[in-house]
A and B are shown apart, each in its own frame.
Chain A
Amino acid sequence: MNRRQFLRGSGSIAIALPFLSSLQGRVGAAPTPRPKRFIAWFSACGTINPVWTPSGTESAFNFGDILRPLDPYKSDVLILDGVDMLSTSYGPGSAHQKGMGHLLTGTELQSGSFAGGGGASAGFAGGVSLDQVIAKRIGAGSKLASVQLAVQAFNNDVWSRMSYSGAGVSLPPINDPQIAFDRMFGGMVGDPAAVTKLRAQRKSVLDGVAGHFASLNGKLSGEDRTRLDAHLFAVRDVEKRLDAVSSSTCKTPTRPGTMDLKSQAAFPVVGKLQMELLALALACDISRVATFQWSRATSPTVYSWLGSDMKESHHELSHAGDSDAVAKAKLVRINKWHAEQFAYFLGLLKKTEEAPGETLLDNSLVFWGNELAVGNTHSRKDMPFVLAGRAGGAIKPGRYIKYPSGTPHNNLLVSMGNAMGATDLTTFGNAKYCTGALAKLAG
């Protein structure tokens, strides 16, 4: 019995956050012309719509209480009202499973109880996710075509995955800032001669590994072949990155220390560190595409740091009835806290100047989604979607747009793809649930 697994919510956490200073006023880390960046952001269990929804008109609006932390970035965000996850009305899976699996894929989950659903009724997502489509277009020039980060999303199932390189092939997010650091900044650390030597050593070992895979050629059957090929591809990917010399002038950040990852108290701390690591990786052009997920669909997170009255898990609270004012108030606090985190991240991007008068946020598109609109009804209509950044001019933020009810979110996926340079995309996910690009995003 691993007792540690049950020791949550105890112990204090004190770690250094060494990255913030690296970002302040940075200029010129990225190559010219500046690349675009795409970040898909996730928080769980829906929102409280009346408190989330802004009031006013497209250009003159006020945030509701939940999004009020975004006030300093009002000119940088685009609030989307009325977009439905239409595709999630189809295919196998429960509401939470579908909401998560469809969010970036816009198509039905795989069926059967074999993979992804933890033995339940549905499998992993049934198609490639938008971040991976974008990574194929714009990720090649950076060390990592994409990164997947999370805060306490440890499970390997459809509730815990938002990024897919193809149908049923989920990309696991990294929950540990040390591992995230190693993946993003590893190989940059140390004196250049030692770094070069380490690369050579790794390359020689990985060549040997690839040789072992090659010796299996022709000896395995179909499904085995597919799995082993995917593994070899992953090895080659690791090897390829050894050669990728960062073109940035980024100063190597300090590797984070070992920290508690699982306790309640760790959630905001790990989250902040992961946000800073990601912002730095984007600023340094180590990666241009990312997913960032707070917990997972049906989030078990207990937001104990928001007050001693926060005893229930997020998912549990989200099921409270509409008449439960106490639970509703707690959900507002949770969602507002997430808006604060989103604002913090936008702040990191905005502080990073890439050229005079041009920030990292200007060159980014950040999409904040959720697996549900409303927790207690499991509705995926009128999703609480927020965009931020200008995508290098392809998006015109500073607005609140109301779409006609029934507007499918696949249209948004098309538009975000278009904005990130995949201008040939006319549909996304299952075309049945897509009527083309979403209007008005460019202004």
Chain B
Amino acid sequence: MGSIGRIRAVTPDIAHRGWKVQRVQRREAMSRNALIVALLLPLGCIGSIGHEDGSDPSGPNGPSEPGGPTTTTTAACADGTIDPGPSPVRRLTRIEYDNTVRDLFGVDLKVGATFPADQTVLGFDNNALGLTVTSVLAEQYMNAAEKLAVAALPRVKAIGGCTAAAMGETACAKQTAERLARRAFRRPANDEQIASLMAAYAARREATFDSGLESMTQLVLQSPFFLYRVELGSVATDKPGLLRLDDHEIASRLSYFLWNSMPDDTLFAAADEGKLATREEIAAQARRMLKDPRAKAAVANFHRQWMELDHLEEVPKDPNVFPEFDDALRGDLRDETATFLENVFWNDGSMESLFTAPYTFANARLAKVYGLPAPSGSGFLKLPTDPSKRIGVLLQPAVQSLHAIAYESSPIYRGKFIREKILCHEIAPPPEGLVVVPPEVDPSKSTRERYQQHSSDAACRGCHQLMDPIGFAFEHYDGIGRYRDKEGMHAIDANGELTGTDVDGKFYGGVELAKRLSKSQEVASCVTTHWFRFAYGRGETEADRCSVATLKQKFAAAKYDMRELVVELTQTDAFLYRKVSP
């Protein structure tokens, strides 16, 4: 299980009487729109942070604004400047560790799943800043290496491609060390590394030849060259301080981005032959790799984290109100959305479809709870949805359930989710000093009426008018995402409003909201940001201005095909270059 990030508070913090001035933390200041600032400043709800280097890349020379002409960005970056931004050394995540072991040894013991959870930073568990190692983890690396060295012994021998009988023990051990290290370290090993592997071998050779190989394997699996993606062999350029990654490093960047695992034989061969030197060669490899099942898993890993699907396991639901919401249904909802996202990505690719596709995937259990025609047979089948009620990912029960409270919907959480995860704005939490007085349930008022009371309070309104008017649009979906025309005795009022975006305006209901968002360049920019963070294992910085601007431009040029965005992520300065370490 991946690490789970944010935990939802359970109570709709309706009575935030103590709320003072809030601020919006713009996660993606790169797309900051002057209009937003103008709108929000009088409300006292604006701030900006979100960059790991504390910079604000949205200065006067920043990239284009949402809705602005992309040509200006080209001009700003076309002066030949190459700035790759930071290239932190990245430790393998638990997922990457298990995948790499699987692809290296053909054994799939999933030992990494027992390691302490990796930290979620900026929404993803592969951010280099969070991938630290404590003594507990180092010990588990040791235990895992001991276990795997035994399980992988035949495979290690196969990699070595020799027998002690035919070649002689020492020569065969050395050949095994070279070939094993080359694969495990994802590049040819140097003499020093081989010598250390031979020392580990020799330390246990007195037992048996096999014990020696096990010892060598243990060292390989605990080496920083295995556990980290060390990029040191880079190629000088004619620009001072700038290095181009060498072909083996490019191969690893490709494989860990697109597969969350090590390179395959084809990539190794391409790297050995110097055929990862041009953008075209790299793009061709990326397109080849996207056809591999490992890419499906990596894209699913991105979607799972972006949509916070792991939270489904524990999002609290009141069993008295929603007795249907059992563990099986939680799993089904997760499968539905994961399957939908996979289908949109691979069969269609367009961001617009992500938000507006009029179909879903359901099994009999889901169909029953959500009033869909029961699919014949078992398992998940693609079903058309009523396009006046449900389109795209945002209106799916998983998303609606995740952003609701235990016993009813939550306009606040839903609005906050759209702001933060779809528009890449961030709303700060309530300030200190407030006392949350839980509201008494009042059947004489609809949810909307109760929340309107709260956001009519001047102290709350500043920030809540950024969330609640978006969240109200989802009122046709109850606390577990079932469509409803009435809430008890109250007719649903799903009038909503977007402000501070490039698709501002009043509208009615989740369907219209989804359609608006599907056309938003600010949303496209946010999708780009999430993919950037996942692909590069870090947050965007001022130095990435040109890389990000180029990505947005290419994404737009590809008619917002997310598969093209993924390929383009292998073409940027940030992907191809690094700076000389200080």
Contacts and interface: CB of A to CB of B under 8 A. Distances in A.
Interface of A: 1-3, 5-9, 88-90, 93-94, 96, 112-121, 148, 154-157, 159, 169, 171-172, 174, 176, 179, 182-183, 200-202, 204-206, 208-209, 211-213, 215-216, 219-224, 227-228, 230-231, 233-235, 237-238, 297-298, 300, 311-313, 315-316, 319-321, 323, 376-379
Nearest to A182: B143
A118 B5 contact: yes
Contact of A238 (B139, B200, B230, B440): B139
Interface in B139-161: 139-140, 142-143, 145
B18 to A, nearest CB: 11
Interface in B109-162: 114, 116-123, 127-140, 142-143, 145
A120 B318 contact: no
A290 to B, nearest CB: 13
A154 B115 CA distance: 10
Contact of A311 (B122, B320, B429): B320
Interface in B196-233: 196-197, 199-200, 203-204, 215, 218-219, 222-225, 227-228, 230, 232
A9 B88 CA distance: 42
Contacts of B131: 227
A227 B437 CA distance: 43
A115 B119 contact: yes
Contact of B120 (A88, A112, A119, A148): A119
Nearest to A261: B114
Nearest to A224: B89
Contact of A8 (B129, B136, B327, B430): B327
A321 B441 CA distance: 10
A287 B118 CA distance: 26
B139 A155 contact: no
Q: Which 6 A-B pairs have the closest CB atoms?
A: A118-B5, A234-B138, A172-B116, A231-B133, A6-B331, A204-B203
Interface residues of B, number: 91
Interface stretch (B6-14, B260-268, B454-462, B552-560): B6-14
A312 B316 contact: yes
Contacts of B75: none
Nearest to A223: B88
Contacts of B485: none
Contact of A116 (B88, B119, B313): B119
Contact of B121 (A9, A119, A155, A311): A119
B6 A119 contact: yes
Contacts of A3: 331
A234 B6 contact: no
B136 A172 contact: yes
B3 interface: yes
Contacts of A311: 318-320
A278 B138 CA distance: 21
Given A113-B426, A176-B114, A231-B133, 16 more contacts: A3-B331, A6-B313, A6-B328, A113-B25, A114-B539, A115-B119, A155-B117, A204-B204, A205-B219, A206-B142, A212-B219, A216-B230, A216-B232, A221-B581, A238-B138, A316-B10
A114 B122 contact: yes
Nearest to A201: B204
A205 B218 contact: yes
Contacts, number: 238
Contacts of A115: 119, 121, 129-130
Contacts of A231: 91, 132-133, 138, 224, 227
Contacts of A233: 135
B318 A209 contact: no
26 contacts: A5-B313, A89-B432, A90-B432, A93-B429, A94-B9, A94-B430, A113-B49, A113-B122, A116-B119, A121-B426, A154-B1, A156-B120, A204-B200, A206-B142, A209-B219, A212-B225, A216-B224, A219-B232, A221-B581, A231-B132, A235-B222, A298-B9, A316-B10, A319-B10, A321-B440, A377-B437
A230 B7 contact: no
A230 B192 contact: no
Contacts of B145: 205
Given A90-B432, A183-B139, A316 B438 contact: no
A156 B138 contact: no
A237 B140 CA distance: 13
B134 A298 contact: no
Contacts of A223: 88, 129
Contacts of B11: 319, 376
A414 to B, nearest CB: 23
A299 to B, nearest CB: 9
Given A204-B203, A211-B196, A315-B10, A6 B327 contact: yes
Q: Main secondary structure on chain B at its contact with chain A?
A: loop
Contact of A113 (B50, B223, B314, B581): B50
Given A119-B123, A155-B3, A220 B438 contact: no
A96 B128 CA distance: 26
Given A6-B328, A121-B428, A209-B223, A230 B132 contact: yes
Interface centre among A5, A159, A297 (most CB of B within 10 A): A5
B193 interface: yes
Contacts of B143: 182
B118 A156 contact: yes
A311 B316 CA distance: 10
A212 B224 contact: yes
A171 B139 CA distance: 13
Given A115-B121, A179-B140, A205-B222, A172 B134 contact: yes
A376 B7 CA distance: 16
B551 to A, nearest CB: 21
Contact of A202 (B1, B129, B142, B430): B142
B107 to A, nearest CB: 19
Nearest to B7: A298
A183 B134 CA distance: 13
Given A3-B331, A94-B9, A172 B133 contact: no
Interface centre among B1, B134, B197, B331 (most CB of A within 10 A): B134
B438 A321 contact: yes
B212 to A, nearest CB: 11
B335 A120 contact: no
A118 B123 CA distance: 7
Given A96-B7, A115-B121, A227 B223 contact: no
Contact of B133 (A212, A230, A379): A230
B371 interface: no
Given A179-B114, A215-B192, A234 B436 contact: no
Interface string B261-284: 000000000000000000000000
B334 interface: yes
A379 B331 CA distance: 35
B316 A315 contact: yes
Contact of B440 (A118, A154, A313, A323): A323
Contact of A222 (B142, B316, B582): B582
Contacts of A116: 119
A358 B472 CA distance: 65
Contacts of A157: 3-7, 119-120
